[in-house]
Amino acid sequence: MNLKSLVSVVVIFMNAEKYLVEAVESVFAQTYQQWELLLVDDGSSDNSTKIAQYYATQKPDQVYYLDHPGHSNYGKGATRNLGIHHAKGNYLAFLDADDIWLPHKLGEQVAILDKYETVGMVYGKTLYWYSWTQNPEDRQKDFMPLWGTPLDSPIQPPSLLPLYIRGKASIPCPSGILVRRSAVDDVGGFDETFIGIHNIYEDQAFFAKLCLKTPTIVVDQCWDKYRQHSQASMAVAARTGTESQARSFFLKWLEEYLKDQRVQEREVWQALKQAQWLIQKPKWLPGGMANEVRWLKKWLLRTGEHVLPDNINYQLWK
């Protein structure tokens, strides 16, 4: 197998027996067949372990089962890093166990990275997939976020990061990207501190690191379906009220990372300070009004961007 064109597909899972087969089968259905599949178990206690081991025994030269010592649960970052450590390909793709790929995903993304040798990451649109339930009321909920980014040409670092932080560009889903192994190695893979209630931002930390280091291409093409269901990490965070804590943890991590990397770009720091201000809640504010205050702050920021000169905006947030 030619390692230069080999895609190492990393699928992490923990108690995903309901969806894992469909995810794996979407890898098998790729028109591009130069791949290896690493099924990485994060301490499952259901039948998903047996499902993954079955696929590994059926295709031992292409599908591999991995888990942590003692079949332990280490979290998403450490589990993806375990797959990366064992990957042999020049390209890396990630597929969450409850998502699926469309058949041309790998082939079309490989062609783009082959063409643009300095680009480290490519991604397209993601379908937020409600209609998987087959319920008539869910069929109208499917959507693809608007981009807010330049398309079809390399975006140089760190241009994407402030757009992500400000919510002016859609952040890719892990299942939607293809990335060079060298780019992942250069940023040290995934951060492993995003565990527990903070686990919904481990992917955004990874994208932040990549955006500071490598050019990216965004394409007006849909290659993956992001399944929406009640047990997904983001849905759990929304239901339990822990999203704001996770957001605060991520922004604090990002601040320390930018300092450590000696990032000087004004736009990045301004975007970060604005994001931190948005989630600050006055101590006197009743808990039930936090969302209203956040929306008011967003309105003030948008108004300031259109009304105030750039140099005044900079002085406010430097």
| Whether residue 302 sits in one domain with residue 170 | no
Q: Tell me the torsion sign for CA atoms 96, 127, 187, 201.
A: negative
| Whether residue 73 sits in one domain with residue 34 | yes
Does some domain include residue 251? Answer: no
Does some domain include residue 246? Answer: no
| Whether residue 227 sits in one domain with residue 278 | no
pLDDT > 70 fraction of the chain, expressed in percent and rounded = 87
Say how far apart CA 26 and CA 20 lie, in whole Å.
10
| Whether residue 285 sits in one domain with residue 143 | no
Domain at 106, CATH number = 3.90.550.10
| Pair type for strands 177-180 and 121-129 | antiparallel
Task: Supply the pLDDT for residue 314.
Answer: 46
Three-state SS letters, the chain: CCCCCCEEEEEEECCCCCCHHHHHHHHHCCCCCCEEEEEEECCCCCCHHHHHHHHHHHCCCCEEEEECHHHCCCCHHHHHHHHHHHCCCCEEEECCCCCEECCCHHHHHHHHHHHCCCCCEEEEEEEEECHHHCCHHHCCCCECCCCCCCCCCCECCCCHHHHHHHCCCCCCCHHHEEEEHHHHHHHCCCCCCCCHHHHHHHHHHHHHHHHHHCCEEEEEEEEEEEECCCCCHHHHHHHHCCHHHHHHHHHHHHHHHHHHCCCCCHHHHHHHHHHHHHHCCCCCCCHHHHHHHHHHHHHHHHHHHHHCCHHHHHHHHC
| Whether residue 12 sits in one domain with residue 104 | yes
| Whether residue 292 sits in one domain with residue 178 | no
Does some domain include residue 300? Answer: yes
Does some domain include residue 252? Answer: no
Q: pTM score, two decimals?
A: 0.88
Can you say how many angstroms the Cα of residue 266 is from the centroid of all Cα atoms in its chain? Answer: 25
Task: Supply the pLDDT for residue 315.
Answer: 43
pLDDT digits (tens, 9 = 90+) for 177-229: 999 999 999 999 999 999 988 889 999 999 999 999 999 999 999 999 999 99
Please name the residues in contact with 232: beta carbons below 8 A apart, sequence gap of 6 or more.
98
Task: Supply the pLDDT for residue 289.
Answer: 52
| Whether residue 196 sits in one domain with residue 303 | no
| Whether residue 286 sits in one domain with residue 144 | no
Total of domains in the chain: 2
Residue 239 has a CB neighbour count (10 Å cut-off) of 11
| Whether residue 301 sits in one domain with residue 158 | no
Does some domain include residue 280? Answer: yes
Residue-wise pLDDT tens for the chain (318 aa)?
555 689 999 999 999 999 999 999 999 999 999 999 999 999 999 999 999 999 999 999 999 999 999 999 999 999 999 999 999 999 999 999 999 999 999 999 999 999 999 999 999 999 999 999 999 999 999 999 978 899 999 999 999 999 999 989 999 999 999 999 999 999 999 999 999 888 899 999 999 999 999 999 999 999 999 999 988 888 888 888 888 899 999 999 999 999 999 999 999 999 999 898 888 765 555 555 555 555 555 555 565 565 545 554 444 444
| Whether residue 74 sits in one domain with residue 166 | yes
Of 190, 207, 240, the residue that ends a domain is 240
| Whether residue 106 sits in one domain with residue 54 | yes
| Whether residue 151 sits in one domain with residue 51 | yes
Task: Supply the pLDDT for residue 279.
Answer: 82
Q: Which domain does 271 fall in, by range? A: 264-317
